[in-house]
Amino acid sequence: MTKTFAAPVITARQLLDQWQGHRRLTRRVIAAFPEKDLFEFSIGGMRPFAQMAEEMIKMGGPGVRGVATGIWEHQEWRDLQYKTKDELLKAWDETTETIEETWNKIPAYRFQDIDAAFGQYEGVLYSTILYFIDNEIHHRGQGYVYLRALGIEPPAFFMR
């Protein structure tokens, strides 16, 4: 019997499915915002939800390509690219495709490989991927507060 600490918890396929489930939920959160509030509403000086979603897009697709290939495309985190909800949702869906298509090309050893994500953030790559996912959950939780403050019922957290 495998010793617990050394036991694998989750396969690459299962982690992909988890993430894509989260991404479906995040897409519903983007869609739930009124157009104007998506780009302008904010609490306590924080970024509007569109900016957080754009960060997830810039991190997600290029991030998974970086994990798969070791090539990290430079991202302009502060220059905002998407100006409407439709543009944002289209980029969101392209990222979903990119992640889906790239995932199975990640060499298996890479999950335990050390690399500097985007040339800056060194870590074991499983933790880099978890950072992408956790960052999305974190900011999406903030989007829930924005929606509630706007009087809008957010999509159910457990529905993926």
By the criterion CB under 8 A, which residues form the site for its own copies?
1-16, 18, 22, 43-46, 103-109, 111, 124, 126-127, 129-131, 134-135, 137-142, 144-151, 157-158
* Minimal distance, residue 111 CB to its own copies, in Å: 5
The DSSP call for residue 70 is S
What's the min distance (Å) between Cβ of 86 and its own copies? 26
**Of the two residues 86 and 157, which places its CB atom closer to its own copies in the complex?**
157
Least separation in angstroms between CB 119 and its own copies:
16
Closest to its own copies by CB, 54 or 83: 54
Look at residues 98, 93, 51, 99 and name the one whose alpha carbon lies nearest to residue 76. 51
Helix (H) / strand (E) element for 122: namely strand 121-124
Smallest CA-to-CA distance from 88 within 130, 129, 125, 143 is with 143
In this complex, which beta carbon is closest to its own copies, that of residue 1 or of residue 71? 1
Residues 6+ apart with CB under 8 A from 97: none
User: How many degrees, rounded to 5, is the angle at CA 23 between CA 89 and CA 44?
Assistant: 75
Q: Rank residues 87 and 158 by Cβ distance to its own copies and give the closer one.
A: 158
